[in-house]
Amino acid sequence: MAKNNKSNSIAGKNILLGVTGSIAAYKAPELVRLFIYGGANVKCILTANGSRFVTSLTLETVSKNKVFTDMFEEFEHSIEHIALSDWADIALIAPASADTIAKIASGRAEDLLSSTVLSMNKPMLVAPAMNERMWANPATAYNVEKLRSYGYSIVGPGCGELACGTSGMGRLANLEEIIQAVKNNLTIFKSGVRASTL
């Protein structure tokens, strides 16, 4: 897809990607690459658990931007989570672990990603990825519904083979599906209407 294609609604957009502690984090660099190919600018926030599955160096290499990891590291801005939320046209957490979903559903701000999410006033997408029993747990279902009630869009999860060797709901949504959800939410937000789910 050409970067100057007018139908490409991510061209020139600033996408903030949160990467959390799920085995599906290995797909994050490819997701960043696809966003860049579509003409978007991407900055990543990598959680401590997310860094066990993918490195900052990998994400920096594909995004051509600094990867943010620590709430208290030396930043260009004194309040970096506010600066990142101001920079972004849209924020996406992919993959979103059960723990991260619980944090943001509860309004906690204990790390850089959750603090940034709490300060966002732009479209927010969450792409869950976890074991099927964790996805089916009533606590997770409750937290996901809370996010929908806040106006967050939930993308997936899909059904299929999981890292633990079982099969069921919990796979990260197809990357093209995630990209389309980002495009849809940017269009909706531009029109002044906020959708809670896709």
* Nearest Cα residue to 185 out of 53, 10, 47: 10
5 pLDDT band, cuts 50/70/90, is very low
Q: In the chain, which ranges are continuous DSSP H helix?
A: 28-37, 56-63, 80-87, 98-105, 112-118, 132-136, 138-150, 175-190
Give the domain ranges of the chain: 14-190
Q: Residue 187's pLDDT is what?
A: 82
pLDDT digits (tens, 9 = 90+) for 107-119: 998 899 999 999 8
Q: Residue 164's pLDDT is what?
A: 58
Asked if 159 is an active-site residue, the reply is no
What average pLDDT does the structure give for the chain? Answer: 85
Report the predicted TM-score, pTM, of the whole model to 2 decimal places: 0.86
193 pLDDT band, cuts 50/70/90, is very low
Q: Are 94 and 17 in contact (CB under 8 A)?
A: yes
pLDDT digits (tens, 9 = 90+) for 51-86: 999 999 999 999 999 999 987 665 555 566 778 988
Spatial separation of the C-alpha atoms in residues 17 and 56, rounded to whole Å: 13
Given the residues 2, 48, 136, 164, select the one marked as catalytic.
Answer: 164
pLDDT digits (tens, 9 = 90+) for 156-188: 898 766 555 566 678 899 999 999 999 999 887
Give the CATH superfamily of 14-190: Flavin prenyltransferase-like (3.40.50.1950)
196 pLDDT band, cuts 50/70/90, is very low
Q: Residue 192's pLDDT is what?
A: 44
